[in-house]
A and B are shown apart, each in its own frame.
Chain A
Amino acid sequence: MKRVTWLALLVAVALVVSLTAPAISQQKVVKIGDLGSKVGVFEGYGKYQTMGIQLAVEEINAKGGVLGHRIEVISEDDDTKPAPAIRKAEKLILQDGVKLLIGAVSSGSTLAMMDVTKKHKTIHWNSVSCAEFMRTTKFHKYYFSNQPDSRQQANGLAKYILDKMGKKTYIFYTDYAMGQSDARQFKTALEKLGGEVVGVAGAPLDTKDFSPWFGAINQSNPDVLFLAFAGTDSLRLMTQLHSFGMTKKYKLAGIDCFLLQQDLQAIAEPMEGFVQLNHFSAYNPDPNMQAFNQKFKKKFNVDANIAAGAYDAVYFWKAAVEKAGNFDPDQVSAAHEGLCIDNTHIGRQCIRKEDHQVVMDMHLYRVEKGKNLPIARIDGKDAIGEPLVGQDPLKGFTWEIKKKN
């Protein structure tokens, strides 16, 4: 008898499932891809990118989705290398049929991905990588970015460093696409404003011991040490600089995404006084930023950070799709151009038509007791620089150190 009851129950459950399933799946689905580092040196950024996308998608789906389609996110890991990034981008586009691809985290992977999104005409949003090639030589019509690239960051930071921190700067960078790009643009911006770069050095990505470079830094006797690193590289570098007494000796400044807010608490002492340009901080009293942080924290129980970029990217795409009235990549791409969205974490953001770079304000922050506290707001129009689509950003640039008396 007992067996019969169980059997009846099973049949009932199966009936309910089979009757409700079609109702649930009746809403059409549009897939979007999330590609980035889920392990390794940039693991944190990749995971927060996924969270930002998830939050936006959840909100949009709750309001009926995009053009009546429920959004489904497919996440993939690119191993922080170009070859897997290409393979996964192809999988997402050709196999899963995503209409939007967000990623990658590492600039090298993003640059490789751009060939795939260009070839297969897929809308591509970048919200973490910042090498300058993406909106110059590698730019294509399906590519968009709301991550301030190296030029924007350098323009925003250089003046503050010269005015408030010191005239002589040593540039130390992670020797791959992102770090090289940041170092180049910062050197250019600083020298343009009359500052002096007293030395430049690059350390390979995922370096374990930075001490071999410290002698050269000390010898050049800078006022400011500008650091273009990210992820676990930044953590190791700061710990080692601190143990060599160099965090007290020099004023320190760095790029956006040098360290996530979540990592700051662990190395609050070495990071004390560190100045960086950033487009989000959970400790910024700005009401827009607090509002975003609140909903992010409510869902994931952690403060928001660079994830705000991926979140906004989904909303930009949604707005463009609705403007175009369909998912056709050419029409959606055209609809993106000049598009603005309001009430984001940084207020109004607009996509510049010429190079598809989002114009938005940014803040300069100083780390105090493990918190990124705002010290200045930089107008997006002042930092973005003129469009340079198709132009080689390396033209005329030299690493040569111009000594001043």
Chain B
Amino acid sequence: MSRVLSWRSALVLAALVALPALPFMSQFYLLLAFDALLFGAIAMSLDLLIGYTGLVSFGHAAFFGLGAYSTAILLERGIVSLWVCLGFAALVVGLYALLVSYFSTARRGIYFALLTLVFAEVVYTFFRYTQTFGGSDGIQGVPPAQLLPGVAIDTPLSNYYAVVVYLALAYVLCRVFVTSHFGKVLVAIRENEDRARFLGYNVQRYKIAVCMISALLTGIGGALYPGRSAFATPDLMLWTVSGEFIIMVMIGGLGTLAGPIIGGAFFVLLQEQVSSYVDWYFMVIGLVLVFIVLFMPRGLLGFRRMLGFGQWRATT
């Protein structure tokens, strides 16, 4: 089709659209699919940073949480338009992301990761202790958002389609970026930052731009979350959530976009299934991660391609 949207991607999208029609897709599976696709999309947006630019962000949970809080705050106050909620979330997350990326991108490697973590912890602590936003209990019991006046996104099915649209748009946007000159510069920065600078690229500006894009996509994902769960709590911004996002990217495969979507979905489904049978489910997830890192370093998508089912297309 084009370098942005392949036939395979279009087919997957069509399958996702048709998924609710399957006879076994109960309301619960639709909600589970919502979580799987939402976190898959967030992992994909993080892949722009980790996989393409070589920047490991340990603060993505803050973007997600801020997006969720932005929506929850408006919904709680009776402003139920989805578009206003998304716009407000984009504004709040954008401003915060500008601040974080400006300072964090001034440093490389572990220092970048630490700075993103520290900023995220500040935001977490702020919401944790601010009673205006519900303190540690957060904002709970918010009404659903409305697509148009009187058209609420209040069923598992409508929430599912909302997240499918978000995922599709986010994927196309990410593909546009990574296949453009901008994306190639990001890979150049990842491979050799000094060389990219000597070639005349303003490296920090590129880093800020990709941080902003990744943060905004994550924030928009977060903005959809209260519509499904009816709450936003500080737990959503905990550093462990940022860690989970990184795990999702690694499981799926760095620098592939589609890989982290699979990784995110895989992580959510694995967590859901294993936690119903084992109390210490994180041990199982940890073992899966160890297995993937040792035996499938290119993640689930890379492994599939290593077996000859497709060409390895990561940006290496």
* A residues adjacent to B (C-beta < 8 A): 38-39, 76-77, 79, 81-84, 86-88, 90-91, 93-95, 107-108, 111-112, 114-115, 119, 131, 138, 175-177, 180, 204-205
B31 with A115: CB separation less than 8 A: no
Known: A138-B140, A177-B136. A87 touches B272 (CB 8 A): yes
Besides A87-B32, A204-B136, 15 new A-B residue pairs in contact (Cβ under 8 A), listed by A number: A39-B280, A76-B275, A76-B276, A77-B275, A77-B279, A82-B138, A83-B233, A83-B235, A83-B236, A88-B275, A90-B31, A108-B233, A175-B136, A177-B137, A180-B136
Docked pose: A87 CA to B156 CA in angstroms: 12
Q: A39-B280, A81-B235 are in contact. Are A204 and B128 (CB under 8 A)?
A: yes
A132 to B: closest C-beta gap in Å: 12
Q: Kindly list chain A residues whose C-beta atoms are within 8 Å of the C-beta of B192.
A: none
Chain B positions 211 through 240: 1 when the CB is less than 8 Å from some CB of chain A, otherwise 0: 000000000000000000111010110000
Asked whether, in the complex, the Cβ of A112 is within 8 Å of the Cβ of B231, the reply is yes
Q: Are B136 and A176 in contact (CB under 8 A)?
A: yes
B28 touches A90 (CB 8 A): yes
User: Which label, helix, strand, loop or mixed, suits the secondary structure of the A interface?
Assistant: helix
CB neighbours of B20 from chain A (8 A) = none
- Pair A94/B26 contact, Cβ less than 8 Å: yes
* Chain A CB within 8 A of B180 CB: no
B275 pairs with A94, CB closer than 8 A: no
B230-278 residues with Cβ-Cβ distance < 8 A to A are 230-231, 233, 235-236, 272, 275-276
In the assembled complex, which residues on chain B have CB atoms less than 8 Å from the CB atom of A176?
A: 135-137
Classify chain B: how many residues form its interface, as a range. 20 to 34
Contacts of B129 in A (CB 8 A): 175
- Tell me the bound Cα distance from A38 to B280 in angstroms: 9
Q: B236: which A residues are within 8 A, CB to CB?
A: 83
Q: 8 Å CB contacts to A: which residues of B128-184?
A: 128-129, 135-138, 140-141
Contact B26 A111 (CB under 8 A): no
Selected A-B contacts with CB under 8 Å, 17 pairs: A39-B280, A81-B233, A82-B138, A82-B140, A83-B235, A86-B229, A87-B32, A87-B35, A90-B28, A112-B140, A112-B231, A114-B141, A115-B230, A115-B231, A176-B135, A180-B135, A204-B128
Is B315 interfacial (CB 8 A cutoff)? no
Question: Min CB distance, B156 to chain A, in Å?
Answer: 8
Q: Report whether A115 and B140 are in contact in the complex, using a CB–CB cutoff of 8 Å.
A: yes
Instruction: Give the residues in chain B near A114, CB-CB below 8 Å.
Output: 141
Q: Please, how many angstroms separate the alpha-carbon atoms of A111 and B138 in the complex?
A: 11
Instruction: Enumerate chain B residues within 8 angstroms of A111, measured Cβ to Cβ.
Output: 137, 140
Contact B136 A83 (CB under 8 A): no
A87 contacts which chain B residues (CB < 8 A)?
A: 31-32, 35, 272
Choose one: B136, B272, B279; the contact of A91 (CB below 8 Å): B272
A76 and B276 CA atoms in complex are apart in Å by: 6
Q: Judging by beta carbons under 8 Å apart, are A82 and B233 in contact?
A: yes
Chain B residues in the interface with A (C-beta under 8 A): 26-29, 31-32, 35, 128-129, 135-138, 140-141, 229-231, 233, 235-236, 272, 275-276, 279-281
CB distance from B144 to the nearest CB of A (A): 10
Chain A, residue nearest B228 (CB):
A86
CB distance from B286 to the nearest CB of A (A): 14
Interface of B, helix, strand, loop or mixed by DSSP: helix
List chain B residues, Cβ under 8 A from A138. 140-141
Contacts of A93 in B (CB 8 A): 28
CB distance from A104 to the nearest CB of B (A): 13
Among A38, A82, A95, point to the contact of B28 (Cβ < 8 A). Answer: A95
Contacting residues, chain B, for A88 (C-beta < 8 A): 275
Rounded to whole Å, the gap between the CB of B199 and the closest CB of chain A is: 45
Kindly list chain A residues whose C-beta atoms are within 8 Å of the C-beta of B29: 95
**Pairwise interchain contact B141-A115, C-beta atoms closer than 8 A:** yes
CA distance A175 to B32 in the complex (A): 31
CB distance from B157 to the nearest CB of A (A): 13
Residues of B within 8 A of A180 (CB): 135-136
Chain B nearest CB from A176 CB (Å) reads: 4
Measured between alpha carbons, how far is A38 from B128 in the docked complex, in Å? 24
Which residues does chain A contribute within 8 Å of B138, judged by CB atoms? Answer: 82
A114 to B276, CA, bound (A): 21
Instruction: Provide the residues of chain A in CB contact with B279, threshold 8 Å.
Output: 38-39, 77
> Cβ of B27: which chain A residues have Cβ within 8 Å of it?
94
CB distance from A175 to the nearest CB of B (A): 6
Hey, which chain B residues are within 8 Å of A205, CB to CB? 136
Which residues of A sit under 8 angstroms from B32, Cβ to Cβ? 87, 91
Q: Which one of A39, A77, A82, A119 contacts B235 once the chains associate, using CB atoms below 8 Å?
A: A82
Closest 8 CB pairs of A and B: A94-B28, A176-B136, A95-B28, A115-B230, A177-B137, A94-B27, A38-B279, A81-B235
Complex formed: what's the CA distance from A309 to B174 in Å? Answer: 52
Q: Is the CB of B231 within 8 A of A91?
A: no
List the A residue with the shortest CB-CB distance to B238.
Answer: A81
Task: Please give the distance in Å from A137's CB to the nearest CB on chain B.
Answer: 8
Q: How far is the CA of A94 from the CA of B279 in the complex (A)?
A: 22
Bound Cα distance from A84 to B135, whole angstroms: 19
State the CA gap A85–B246 with chains docked (Å). 23
Distance in angstroms between the alpha carbons of A337 and B28 in the assembled complex: 30
Considering the chains assembled together, what is the distance between the CA atoms of A112 and B9 in angstroms? Answer: 36
User: Which residues of chain B are within 8 angstroms of A115 by Cβ–Cβ distance?
Assistant: 140-141, 230-231
Bound: A205/B129 CA distance, A: 12
Q: Contact check, B141 vs A86: say whether CB atoms are below 8 A apart.
A: no
Distance of A37 Cα from B138 Cα, bound (Å): 19
